[in-house]
């Protein structure tokens, strides 16, 4: 009986360790119109756009997107916990003389290639500058294995203007499955936003 108890206890411990090591993504703040569900454990400037905690084979991470100066400066920073403290891992910066905003519900933290490390997809938009017809600039940024890949698009706001989508040439260096996933995700965004002219048909 004692032997059976010890075996059962060991199996329970191993099970708990496996659960503790599982990957997860937890939403701390979904957008800039709702309060955070938990304290954000790093110092930041401006208004929080979105914040997520996630864990993968590389450790515990925090993704934080903020906008400063009335939304003019956009920062998306990922931190990794080291010895109990969050240390900046990578950061994306952008600027517009007009307001920059996250595209709500389109941030994606997902292990596309199933290697135990999460990829990050960030989508944001702002009114197009230096264009007499106006319109909207969209950006999708993929962070994959310490590199950034971007899709950029101009959505027209006038019959006299042209829409267009461009993809970094570096996308062609990605594994086919990763590129396919991101292109399909971009096309879903275009469809959801009734911006069919932004659909990527070349890749």
Is 149 contained in some domain? Answer: yes
Residue 5 domain flag = no
- pLDDT mean values, one per 10 residues, the chain (203 residues): 44 40 92 91 92 97 87 87 96 84 88 96 84 80 94 77 82 94 91 73 52
| pTM reported for the whole predicted model | 0.82
Q: 176, 199 in Cβ contact below 8 A?
A: no
Asked if the structure places residue 8 within a domain, the reply is no
Within-domain flag for 10: no
Number of domains making up the chain = 1
Residue 28's domain comprises 24-198
Residue 102 domain flag: yes
Residue 11 forms part of a structural domain: no
- For residue 150, being part of any structural domain is answered with yes
Is 41 contained in some domain?
A: yes
């Amino acid at each position: 009986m004692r032997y059976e108890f010890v075996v059962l206890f060991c199996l329970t411990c191993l099970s708990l360790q496996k659960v503790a090591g599982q990957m997860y993504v937890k939403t701390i703040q979904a957008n800039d119109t709702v309060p955070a569900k938990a304290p954000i454990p790093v110092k930041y400037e401006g208004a929080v756009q979105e914040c997520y905690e996630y864990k993968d084979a590389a450790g515990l991470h925090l993704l934080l997107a903020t906008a400063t100066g009335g939304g003019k400066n956009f920062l998306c920073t990922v931190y990794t916990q080291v010895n109990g403290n969050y240390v900046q891992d990578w950061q994306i910066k952008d600027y517009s003389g007009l307001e920059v905003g996250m595209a709500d519900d389109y941030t994606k933290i997902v292990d596309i290639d199933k290697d135990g490390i999460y990829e990050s997809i960030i989508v944001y938009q702002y009114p197009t500058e230096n264009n007499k017809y106006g319109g909207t600039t969209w950006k999708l940024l993929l962070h994959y294995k310490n590199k950034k890949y971007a899709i950029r698009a101009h959505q027209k706001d006038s019959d006299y203007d042209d829409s267009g989508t461009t993809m970094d040439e570096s996308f062609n260096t990605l594994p086919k499955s990763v590129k396919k996933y991101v292109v399909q995700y971009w096309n879903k965004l275009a469809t959801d936003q009734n911006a069919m002219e932004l659909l990527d048909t070349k890749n």
